[in-house]
């Protein structure tokens, strides 16, 4: 069975559901507070696994209570965590405020995630796998080393450039599919704009000067998705749903895209599938916790 390796961050997410943003110096009451498994890597691994993919998650936790807690939570998903390592640093934590309209504010502390080494994944393991997914929660050099070996061993590489960072060209050269949201896209262009919409993306794509093999996917929340692949540009609207918590929507998109590509290389069909999956995740609380099953996605395809 083809396999996905997700090389990325794992965090304890502390969610506060709040009526509105606070002003400086102000205290407001949350309507509820919840603890969930998070980290872009862990979320993406959970998304692929719930859909039915064979997934290995490779990352690092600390030797503290949050480390014990997140390990317990990720163990409930059908994910191979034999390469989950631990370090003396604190387990990664994200402080997440979810506003009434489902929008969110996130502060993430990477902690132990930064100790994750690409050496945890052997060439033998890469040979048996078909897709490698990375984000920017780990050290860029480790993701680069892994992608370099992944390409040599015949894997397809997916890079989610989140949280945004200006990266070296060498990492992009080892990337087959680059996934960004609209804010990360504007970071890539080094241009800011009051309105980052479809028009902005279309007008600025050519400024990116991406290596020719890259397929670029720009997700824009409820405003839809644009795919640039092999000289073709295609726009997909998002599904209309009542969003209550959009945390992890992008992670669901990435995990679902990876799952689909295990069996079908068409990037446009994969995008449609990932839009359907992520539209379900925004109707539920939590990040990893909100990922849908394959039956739920098939119903709305």
Ligand X SMILES: Nc1ncnc2c1ncn2[C@@H]1O[C@H](COP(=O)(O)OP(=O)(O)O)[C@@H](O)[C@H]1O
- Among 11, 91, 174, 238, indicate the residue that binds ligand X (CB under 6 A): 238
Is 70 a binder of ligand X (CB under 6 A)?
no
- Residue 212 preceded by cis peptide, ω within 30: no
Q: Closest distance between ligand X and the C-beta of residue 283, in Å?
A: 8
Q: Closest distance between Mg ion and the C-beta of residue 225, in Å?
A: 11
Tokens of 30: 């949350």
Residue 5's alpha-carbon distances to 91, 157, 247, 285, in angstroms, are 21, 10, 22, 25
Q: Cα(245)–Cα(235) distance, rounded to whole angstroms? A: 24
Q: Which stretch binds ligand X (CB under 6 A): 71-79, 82-90, 112-120, 274-282?
A: 274-282
- Among 56, 90, 279, 290, indicate the residue that binds ligand X (CB under 6 A): 279
- Among 110, 134, 187, 221, indicate the residue that binds ligand X (CB under 6 A): 221
- Among 221, 224, 248, 255, indicate the residue that binds Mg ion (CB under 5 A): 221
- Among 249, 262, 270, 297, indicate the residue that binds ligand X (CB under 6 A): 249
Comparison of 84 and 216: residue with beta carbon closer to ligand X: 216
Q: Which stretch binds ligand X (CB under 6 A): 8-16, 76-84, 150-158, 272-280?
A: 272-280
Q: Which stretch binds Mg ion (CB under 5 A): 29-37, 60-68, 181-189, 252-260?
A: 181-189
Listed in sequence order, the DSSP H helices in the chain are 40-51, 65-75, 123-127, 140-152, 169-173, 182-189, 198-204, 249-261, 267-281, 294-300
Comparison of 176 and 182: residue with beta carbon closer to ligand X: 182
Comparison of 70 and 220: residue with beta carbon closer to ligand X: 220
Phi-psi region at 140: left, alpha or beta (left = phi > 0; alpha = psi -120 to 50): alpha
Backbone phi, psi, residue 250, to 5°: -65, -35
Backbone phi, psi, residue 35, to 5°: -110, 130
Is 130 a binder of ligand X (CB under 6 A)?
no
Longest dimension (CA), the chain: 54
Is 219 a binder of ligand X (CB under 6 A)?
yes
Is 255 a binder of Mg ion (CB under 5 A)?
no
- Among 222, 229, 235, 296, indicate the residue that binds ligand X (CB under 6 A): 222
Comparison of 129 and 200: residue with beta carbon closer to ligand X: 200
Q: In the sheet where 92-98 sits, what is the strand order?
A: 32-38, 11-17, 92-98, 104-109
Is 244 a binder of ligand X (CB under 6 A)?
no
Residue 283's alpha-carbon distances to 44, 149, 163, 239, 248, in angstroms, are 17, 38, 23, 11, 11
User: Which residue sits closest to ligand X, CB atoms considered?
Assistant: 250
**How would you classify the pairing of strands 156-160 and 85-87?**
unpaired
Comparison of 16 and 244: residue with beta carbon closer to ligand X: 244
Is 241 a binder of ligand X (CB under 6 A)?
yes
46 binds, among Mg ion, ligand X, none (CB under 5 to 8 A by kind): none
Which residues, including other chains, have CB under 8 Å from residue 169's CB and lie 6 or more apart? 211
Please state, as a whole number, how many other Cβ atoms lie within 10 Å of the Cβ of residue 25.
Answer: 5
Residues that bind ligand X (CB under 6 A): 162, 181, 219-222, 225, 238-239, 241, 243, 246, 249-250, 253, 275, 278-279, 282
Residues that bind Mg ion (CB under 5 A): 181, 221
């Amino acid at each position: 069975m083809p396999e996905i390796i997700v090389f990325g961050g794992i965090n304890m997410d502390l969610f506060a559901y709040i009526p509105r943003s606070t002003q400086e110096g102000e205290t407001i009451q949350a309507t509820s507070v919840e603890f969930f498994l998070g980290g872009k890597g862990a979320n993406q691994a959970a998304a692929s696994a719930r859909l039915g993919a064979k997934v290995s998650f490779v990352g690092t936790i600390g030797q503290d209570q949050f480390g014990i807690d997140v390990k317990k939570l990720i163990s409930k998903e059908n994910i191979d965590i034999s390469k989950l390592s631990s370090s003396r640093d604190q387990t990664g934590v994200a402080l997440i405020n979810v506003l009434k309209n489902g929008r969110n504010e996130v502060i993430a502390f990477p902690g132990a995630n930064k100790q994750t080494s690409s050496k945890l994944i052997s060439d033998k393991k890469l040979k048996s796998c078909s897709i490698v997914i990375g984000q920017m929660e780990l050290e860029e050099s480790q993701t680069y080393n892994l992608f370099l070996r992944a390409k040599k061993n015949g894997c397809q590489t997916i890079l989610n450039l989140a949280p945004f960072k200006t990266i070296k060209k060498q990492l992009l050269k080892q990337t087959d599919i680059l996934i960004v949201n609209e804010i990360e896209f504007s970071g890539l262009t080094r241009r800011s704009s009051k309105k980052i919409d479809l028009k902005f993306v279309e007008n600025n794509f050519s400024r990116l000067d991406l290596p020719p093999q890259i397929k670029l996917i720009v997700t824009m929340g409820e405003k839809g998705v644009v795919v640039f692949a092999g000289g073709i540009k295609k726009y997909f609207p998002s599904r209309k749903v009542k969003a209550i918590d959009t945390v992890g929507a992008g992670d669901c998109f990435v995990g679902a895209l990876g799952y689909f590509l295990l069996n079908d290389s068409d990037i446009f069909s994969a995008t449609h599938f990932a839009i359907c999956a992520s539209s379900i995740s925004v109707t539920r609380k939590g990040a990893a916790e909100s990922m849908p099953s394959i039956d739920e996605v098939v119903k709305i395809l």
